[in-house]
């Protein structure tokens, strides 16, 4: 049995623990959660030792996998501690909220000789796998432009996450779209121009950006525009709005995840999510597939699908975007 410990039993920690219930090769043997009410809720739902302090959970124990599902800005210490204890790691995106931190984490992972997967779950999406196959087969020829928008409703930074001020919309959402651009194109970023706006959330006492928009130039001549905002009204039909377009010299493709094949008309109009949910209790979708494939990696001694260097490159770009926003100018993406 692959023995798993989970750090952070919020939305994602719960999703992973439930996924493992249905995996025949793995079991959750311990979890850590700093919020006493959430810890109690996890104890009621899952078996395994329960800890308030993750350092105590890691003390003297070598888990086959530790899942780090903490708020964005708290991944670093937990990852370094778990890696140093010899545990393989599934780390939620973003790997870290600075390139410096991400480099220190990857160094610790490499020194410990453990496997690590950063949670870029779209690489397990049948939709983006179809896009990747079309690009890899040369159907679009040379990619010139990627236009990626990924937005959230204001519910996310104001009601869903208690820690939005510790992150930004860029750290929360760009890891997905930037990783997709890197994965699909295989190109390296060279420069960034970005702007950010603060008004609505700061007005509500949450000191973080409402929106960030970046234009990124890549070495192969591709340009990517990445736009993310998390102040969309709660009335948008789905809690997120993701559109991803790729234009090549020989064709184009468009992904639109706003419509998930069901439109509900009750007291309000909505598009209930169908791509990631459970079927009779069992989580299905990209995140579940990603975790199950990492369990296979650890069980079978194979390498994870997301290379750590790719994850590091993604953090470097998102870090450069934030520095460009702060400086109000164009920045080179340094190694």
> Which residues of this chain interact with ligand NAD, rule CB under 6 A?
7-13, 32-35, 38, 54, 69-72, 74, 92-93, 119, 121, 161, 172
Find tokens 């999703």 and name the residue: 15
User: Tokens 């390296």 belong to which residue?
Assistant: 188
Shortest approach of ligand NAD to residue 323 CB, angstroms?
20
Nearer to ligand NAD, 194 or 288 (CB): 288
Residue among 141 and 159 whose Cβ is closer to ligand NAD: 159
DSSP letter at 260 equals: -
Q: How far is the CB of 296 from ligand NAD (least distance, A)?
A: 19
Query: Nearest-CA neighbor of 73 among 104, 97, 90?
Result: 97
Of residues 7 and 140, the one with the C-beta less far from ligand NAD: 7
CA-to-CA distance for 248 and 315, rounded, in angstroms? 25
CB of 156 to ligand NAD, least distance (A): 9
| Cβ distance to ligand NAD smaller for residue 217 or 319 | 319
Give the Cβ contact number of residue 202 at 10 Å.
14
Least Å from the CB of residue 73 to ligand NAD? 8
CB of 91 to ligand NAD, least distance (A): 9
CA distance 134 to 195: 32
Least distance (Å) between residue 327 CB and ligand NAD: 25
Please, where are the H alpha helices in 144-285? 155, 169-185, 200-203
How far apart (Å, rounded) are the C-alpha atoms in residues 265 and 150? 24
Instruction: For residue 15, give the DSSP letter.
Output: H
Residue 156 vs 331, nearer CB to ligand NAD = 156
C-beta of 72 vs 210, nearer to ligand NAD: 72
Residue 198 and residue 210 in contact, taking contact as beta carbons nearer than 8 Å: yes
Q: Which residue number, 34 or 237, has a Cβ lying nearer to ligand NAD?
A: 34
Q: Which is nearer to ligand NAD, 41 or 253 (CB)?
A: 41
Shortest distance in whole angstroms from residue 289 CB to ligand NAD: 12
Both structure tokens of 141: 């020829």
Question: Cis omega (within 30 of 0) on the bond before 94?
Answer: yes
Place of tokens 């780090």: 68
Sign of the Cα torsion 237, 91, 104, 164 reads: positive
Going by C-alpha positions, the residue among 169, 216, 202, 230 that lies closest to residue 314 is 216
> Using CA atoms, how far apart are residues 96 and 109, in angstroms rounded to an integer?
14
Give the shortest CB-52-to-ligand NAD separation in angstroms. Answer: 7
């Amino acid at each position: 049995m692959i023995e798993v410990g989970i750090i952070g039993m919020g939305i994602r920690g719960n999703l992973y623990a439930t996924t493992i219930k249905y995996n025949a090769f793995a079991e959750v043997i311990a979890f850590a959660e700093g919020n006493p009410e959430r810890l109690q809720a996890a104890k009621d739902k899952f078996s395994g030792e329960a800890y308030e302090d993750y350092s105590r959970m890691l003390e003297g124990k070598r888990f086959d996998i530790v899942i780090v599902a903490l708020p964005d800005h708290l991944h670093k210490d937990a990852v370094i501690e778990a890696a140093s204890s010899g545990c393989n790691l599934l780390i939620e995106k973003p790997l870290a909220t600075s390139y410096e931190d991400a480099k220190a984490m990857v160094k610790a992972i490499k020194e410990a000789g453990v496997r690590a997967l950063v949670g870029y779950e779209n690489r397990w999406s049948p939709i983006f796998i179809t896009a990747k196959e079309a690009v890899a087969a040369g159907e679009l020829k040379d990619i010139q432009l990627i236009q990626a928008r990924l937005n959230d409703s204001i519910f996310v930074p104001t009601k869903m996450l208690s820690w939005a001020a510790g992150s930004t919309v860029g750290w929360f959402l760009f890891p997905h779209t930037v990783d997709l651009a890197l994965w699909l194109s295989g190109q390296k970023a060279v420069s960034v121009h970005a702007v950010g706006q603060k008004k609505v959330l700061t007005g509500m006492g949450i000191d973080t950006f409402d929106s960030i928009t970046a234009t990124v130039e890549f070495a192969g001549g591709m340009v990517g525009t990445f736009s993310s905002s998390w102040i969309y009204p709660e009335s948008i039909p789905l809690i997120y709005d993701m559109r991803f377009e790729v234009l090549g010299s020989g064709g184009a493709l468009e992904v639109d995840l706003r419509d998930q094949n069901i439109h509900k008309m009750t007291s309000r109009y909505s598009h209930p999510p169908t791509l990631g949910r459970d079927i009779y209790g069992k989580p299905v979708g990209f995140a579940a597939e990603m975790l199950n494939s990492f369990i296979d990696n650890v069980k079978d001694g194979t390498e994870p699908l997301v290379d750590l260097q790719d994850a590091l490159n993604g953090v470097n770009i998102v870090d450069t975007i934030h520095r460009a926003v702060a400086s109000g100018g164009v920045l080179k993406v340094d190694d």
